[in-house]
Amino acid sequence: MDTDDFEDLREVDPRCIWPNEARDFTPWLAANIERLTKALPFDLETLQIETEIDGQYADITATVAGSDTRVIIENQLEDSDDDHLVRIQSYAAKHDAQVIIWVAKDFSERHRQIVNWMNSNTLAGVAFYGFRIRAFKKGKSKPDPFFDLVIQPTRRVRTRNPNIAPGNDRYKDFFQSIVDELSRRNVFEYKTIRRTISWCEFQAGISGVTYVAAFTPRTTARVEVHIRCWIGSNHQIYEYLVDCKQEIENELSEPLKWEQRDRHYGHWHLIAIYKPGSIDGTEDELSELSDWMIEKLAELKQVFDPYLDDATT
């Protein structure tokens, strides 16, 4: 590699990427949480943003994948301050959070010492992590974010496993068979997959856009393109797909459900195919549902990938 490539690389202020912490950075982090979890010994799931806790709003709440271990993420695009230090102490003391992650532009030596002391002296089962959020830019390219782990516990995080009902084991086995078959066919790679109890999703290669297989509470199965609009540009992606609706449905040879959903912590779109079905079905019924989900996910990816490419170019 040319040495000029290294000489041209420089660090820039993270606000070059996210001007506003709450409006820009927090939604981006929730949609790109794998950037953070690469440095953690566990994955996160059931993410929510701006969750109210005693009159304050935690930036991101989540659980450790496969457990009910509660995680709270506090972030700031400035250097660490005492206000955020008090917040993470409060989450550990009052709100049953077992993992607290503090993201900041940088940490003062005093704050590092305090959080390291908390990791060594807080009751077992509570762990504190600190990440510096940094951004690097080469030439005229867009700045690229990087999370630098600077504070971590000295002991292993203990995750709490809920009492697993037999039905949850059925979900696990059901979705694992779908994951394995789609990976075998090279439709999706293992590294693109995130699975919770009643659904699994596969990354589409665009932040906040995934392909999903799921069971709904109303004894219905579905496959879908899931577009999280915490990222502003994803609204335009959805609008582009709506403009191409007729062509897309013609290629799939069936109509789709085009839905918009809102919650206090986010806004997203679903483009879905539904089918009656439940995890409590017979083995034959589950086998039929599994085959249906596998085929439909492969079809959705084949048809939607080119449109998603066009929408982002």
Highest mean pLDDT among 135-139, 217-221, 229-233: 135-139
Please determine, for residue 247, whether its predicted confidence score (pLDDT) is greater than 90: yes
pLDDT for residue 138: 79
pLDDT digits (tens, 9 = 90+) for 52-87: 666 667 888 888 876 778 889 999 999 999 999 988
- Report CA-CA distances (Å) from 304 to 74, 204, 209, 211, 296: 35, 9, 11, 10, 12
Please determine, for residue 157, whether its predicted confidence score (pLDDT) is greater than 90: no
Count of C-beta atoms within a 10 Å radius of residue 213: 27
- Split at pLDDT 50, 70, 90, the class of 230 is low
- Report CA-CA distances (Å) from 176 to 37, 82, 173, 247: 22, 45, 5, 32
pLDDT for residue 123: 56
Please determine, for residue 265, whether its predicted confidence score (pLDDT) is greater than 50: no
HSE-up (13 A, CA, CB side) for residue 235:
7
End-to-end CA distance of the chain: 28
Mean pLDDT, range 103-110, rounded to an integer: 94
Token pair, residue 214, equals: 């799921």
- Report CA-CA distances (Å) from 54 to 25, 57, 87, 91, 95: 23, 8, 11, 10, 9
Question: Of 225 and 156, which is predicted with more confidence?
Answer: 225
Q: 246-260 burial by CB neighbour count: b if 16+ within 10 A, else e? A: eebeeebeeebebee
pLDDT for residue 177: 87
The model's pTM is 0.53
pLDDT for residue 155: 65
Alpha-carbon distance of 104 to 112, in angstroms, equals: 12
- Split at pLDDT 50, 70, 90, the class of 168 is low
Please determine, for residue 146, whether its predicted confidence score (pLDDT) is greater than 80: yes
> Contact, 63 vs 91, CB < 8 A?
no
Alpha-carbon distance of 222 to 18, in angstroms, equals: 34
- Report CA-CA distances (Å) from 145 to 14, 17, 25, 190, 279: 7, 8, 11, 24, 40
